Structure formats: structure tokens, C-alpha cells
A and B are shown apart, each in its own frame.
Chain A
Amino acid sequence: MSNVVNSFGSPFFQRAAVEAVLVGALAGVVGVHVLLRRLPFFVVAMSHATFPGVVLASVLGISLFAGGTGFGLVVVLAIVGLGSVRALDDSSAIGVVLAGSFAVGVLVLSSQPGGSRDLSAFLVGQILTVTTADIATTAVVGVVLLAVLAGLHKELVQGAFDPEGLRALGYAGRALDLVVLVVITVALVTAVPAVGTLLAVALLTVPALAARQWVEGVGPMMVLAAAIGAGCGVVGLCLSAAWDVAAGGAISLTAAAVFLVSALLRSPGSPLSRRVRPASVPG
């Protein structure tokens, strides 16, 4: 464990820890909306679909965040458009879009020399090389996203539970759905430099799912999910330093372990089991 103690002092590790806490907390809060609306497959799809944007941005030398977000928005519109075609359900539309856009990313990258090294960095992240600018981006984006979620909290939650009722009240239900999808996409892209495109999925789903094992209200769930996300970020980083394994992988595994313990402790038949199965929380 002396590795861990030594690495606490290094500026790399400190920056990585700040980034991990920020990304973990943001992803935890957004993740609650992912679960409420049954969007895990969408998150997985976006993690693949923003990939060509990130690749193109790195080839063109512009900000990875801008590239990923821009491409992500196009993909969101494509999925929403395809999903409204009669012969295709949402999950098929998502599958088609994710496979196609990921392949485009691989193709662009494979035509660049020295591609495979960069590729792995996108996929698994490089949290130890985050810069102060990355941290600032994460913080600013995080505050904006949380402000949007807080401002529209009531409408978004009602949209998840009772879309018909929301529309009957005169809200633009479709526009609100799109807001959620965009928020998720931006949160995902923000997490990419830290944990990579594929493991960002873990932070956007697992802490929220773990939190849902313990609390029932949407508000408390968000607070707990943020805490779990941030905690997993720090613990995962320490484990990664201690055993010299990939940081993104260690963070995701920590989150998965927290979920597993929560689910087992709260499962029917265990002493800590919840009294009544919460029927009020779908998805």
C-alpha cells in the first residue's frame, strides 16, 4: 500500500482525484434520471455513438469535449427520428445507430498511423493525465447540467412517471424528453477523458442503481448516488495505484462491488431487507 501513500503527494494523483469526485458526483445525479426513464441501453449506445465524434475531434485537433458533444447531439436526433418509424422499436433503432457510428469511429482511427494506442485511451480513459483545464470544463459543465436538472426537476420527474399527465397539463413532453437525452449525452462526454467512453456507462448507471436499493425518494436517491459515484471514483483511483491496474477499470469495478453489496444486503430475505417492495419507483 506504500504506493498509494506515495502517490497522494503527486499533482497527477491530486488532479485525478478531483476529476474523479466531480465526474462521479455528476454522473450519479444524472444516473437517477437514466434509471427513472429506463434509459440504460441509450447510455450504452451513446457511449459508442459519441466515439466517432471524439476520434474526429482528436484527428482535427479540436477539443474532444466539443467533438463528442456535437456528434452526440446528431446521434440523439437520429435515434429519436428512427425510433418513431413504425417498423422499428426504440431498442432496434438504438442498436443500428450505435453499431454504425462506432464502426465509423474505428474506421477513421484505423486509417491514422499509431491508432491503436489512442483508441485504448478513448475506450478506457486516462484519468492520471487530466489537466487543470479538463477539471475546469468538468466543473463548469457539471454546474450547468445540475442547474438544468434542478430547474426542471418537477417536470422531468413527472415526465418519467406519467408522460400523459404532463402533456395534459400543457407541457411540451417531447421537448422535455429531448432535454433529458441531451443532458445524459453531455454528462457522458464529460466523463470520457477520465474513465473512457465504455466505462462512463458504469458511472452513469451503477451508482444510481446502488442508491435505489437504499432510498425511495428521487431527491435522496440523487444525493446518495452522487456520494456513491464520488466515493467510488476516489476508492477506485487508490486501488488502481495500489495494484497498478487501469484506473477506469478499477473505478467501475468499485462501483459494481458497491452495487452488488447493496443489492445483496437489501434483497428479499436478508436481515436488512426493505419492509415493502417500493411499487412507486418504476424503471
Chain B
Amino acid sequence: MQRALVEVLLLGILGGVVGVHVLLRRMAFLTEALQHTVFPGIAVAFVAGESLLLGAIAAAAVTVALLNVMTDGLRIEHDAALAVLIAGSFALGVVVVSRRTGYTADLSQLLFGRILDVDVRQIVETAVIAAAALVVVAVLHRQFVLLAFDRAQAEALGIRVALLDLVLNAVVAASVVVAVRAVGTVLVVAFVVTPAASARLLGRSVGATIAIAVALACMLGWIGLGASFEASVHHGVRLAAGATVVVAFSLGFCVIGAVTWLARIGSRRDAAREVPA
């Protein structure tokens, strides 16, 4: 439980920071695609008995490379190329795993992760990769933000746009890879997108948004994990830990969304009252 909490907090920090950049660049679909494309890598590593982390890293690298080839070389639209990659790689993963007997249990373990089973080594790996990703994002923060808001100016200032794109893709890929083992291949996108989207409703600047996203991810992650643990241990209701955390994120988003919406309606009404027609 304590180890799971540490893992959730690490992923929350990483997801919050990276997520804001993902939303600024409208890369939610890429994140979603990566979480599916690392699946065959993990499946192959699982069947071969290799490290799941290695399999995931290899698959993520192949995805980014293939995406580049398809959009630049074959001139296929970015979103269509991602759809093909998702479909193909997920199918490959299913086929690989289905060759093994008793595959459904393995499959759901890979798909939904086992956050309660994390060991110290996994936490250390997560911490190292998260720290590296965060350092990269912190150092390149200004360039990333400029690129997101004004690509033409970034090019004019002599920033190497293509290289920065590649670096950001790599950071997103690294985040997906570390999160996959804990929360499974289908819920990763929530760690990256949902807290950041909630924070965007509140934050006025990029820095503030990142801070809010990290705070939300950690707080809601802790609440979700606690709720799942409480329900499973004391009330006999089995709630999958990763899914409970994600549901907590989503509820947080709903609450923040409702509050900001009501606030906006309220301020509009005040404004209407102050200026008589």
C-alpha cells in the first residue's frame, strides 16, 4: 500500500507536468496511441520473460519512428496514421498473448496493471525516468511553450522545431512507458490528460496550470488509492486500484468543471446587473 502510494505520487507529478504540455500541443491522441502501441512490446517481453520496461521502451521507440515514416514519407495524415498504428499494434499484442494458454488472466493484468504489486525496484525505475523527463521539460520549458503558441516565431528565432517535437514525443513516450506497468495500458492516458485538463480550467498561466495539475494528480491519486484499499480490505468490495484512481481524477474534473461553469454564469449575471440595458 505504501509502495503503491509512492508510485501513484511519482506518476501524478510526472503526468501533471507532461500533461499540460500534451494539452498545449493537442497531443492527447498521441498519448492514447502510445499507450496502445506499447502493448505488443510488453506482451512480447512478457511471453519471452524479458523485462517489461525494456519491451515497452522498444515498442515506444518503434512507434515514434513509424509515425514519422508514415506522416513524412508516405504523406498520411497524423491522426489517420495513429489510428492505423493503434489498430495494428493492439491486434499484434492480442495475437501474441493469445498463443499462450490461460491468456485472459495475463491479458487483463497487462491491460489494467497491478499497482498494488509494485516493488522497490520498480519505484526506483519510475523515479529515475520521471526525474530525467522532468529535467528535460524544465530545461526546455520556454521553448516548448513558445512552440505551442507561436510555431512560426519559434522557427524565426532559430529554434530547431523538428528536434523539439521529437524530444517532446520522447518525453511523452517515457511517461507512458513508466505508467503502463502500474496502471495498465488502457488507463495511462487518464494520468496524463485528466489532471491537466482540470487544471486548465483553473490556471491562468502555464506555470500555474502545471502546479495545479501536479497538486490535483497527487491529491486525487491518494484519495482514489485510499478508497480502493478501504473498499477492498474493510468492506469486501473489490475495486481495481488503477481504475479507482482514474475515476477519482474524472470526478475531480467534473466537480471543477461544474464549479467554473457556475462561476462563469454567476459573473455573467452580475455583469448584466451592473450594466442596465
Chain A residues packing against B (C-beta within 8 Å): 35, 38, 40-41, 43-45, 48, 82, 85, 87-89, 91-96, 98-100, 102-104, 106-107, 110-111, 115-117, 119-120, 123-124, 198-199, 201-202, 205-206, 209, 244-246, 248-253, 255-256, 259, 263-264, 267-268, 277, 283
Contacts and interface: CB of A to CB of B under 8 A. Distances in A.
5 closest A-B pairs by CB: A100-B250, A202-B87, A99-B190, A252-B91, A103-B246
Given A44-B32, A95-B193, A199 B187 contact: no
Given A102-B186, A103-B246, A104-B247, A268 B75 contact: yes
B64 interface: no
Nearest to B184: A106
B244 interface: yes
Given A88-B200, A91-B29, A40 B79 contact: yes
B84 interface: yes
22 contacts: A40-B79, A41-B82, A44-B29, A44-B32, A45-B32, A91-B26, A91-B29, A92-B193, A95-B28, A95-B197, A99-B194, A99-B250, A103-B246, A106-B187, A119-B111, A120-B108, A199-B87, A199-B94, A205-B87, A209-B83, A250-B91, A283-B80
Given A199-B87, A246-B95, 9 more contacts: A35-B80, A44-B83, A96-B194, A104-B250, A124-B94, A124-B98, A206-B84, A209-B83, A267-B75
A217 to B, nearest CB: 18
B23 interface: yes
A199 B90 contact: yes
A206 B193 contact: no
Contacts of B155: none
B201 interface: yes
A267 B108 contact: no
Contacts of B26: 89, 91-92
Contacts, number: 201
B95 A40 contact: no
B215 interface: no
Contacts of A201: 83, 86-87
A28 B68 CA distance: 26
Contacts of B187: 99, 102-103, 106
Contacts of A255: 87
A110 B112 CA distance: 10
Interface string B90-116: 111111001100011101100110000
Contacts of B95: 245-246, 249-250, 253
B239 A249 contact: no
B189 A252 contact: no
A100 B253 CA distance: 10
Contact of B238 (A110, A246, A251): A110
A246 B23 CA distance: 35
Nearest to B241: A110
A40 B82 contact: yes
Contacts of A124: 94, 98, 107
Interface string B29-69: 10111001000000000000000000000000000000000
A55 to B, nearest CB: 11
A95 B189 contact: yes
Contact of A245 (B70, B87, B98): B98
Contacts of A209: 76, 80, 83-84
Nearest to A91: B28
A119 B108 contact: yes
A89 B22 CA distance: 12
Contacts of B253: 96, 100
Task: Point out which of A104, A123, A249 has the most chain B C-beta atoms below 10 A from its C-beta.
Answer: A249
B91 A100 contact: no
Contacts of B79: 38, 40-41
B138 to A, nearest CB: 23
B237 interface: yes
Nearest to A266: B74
Nearest to A263: B74
B212 interface: no
Contacts of B112: 106, 110
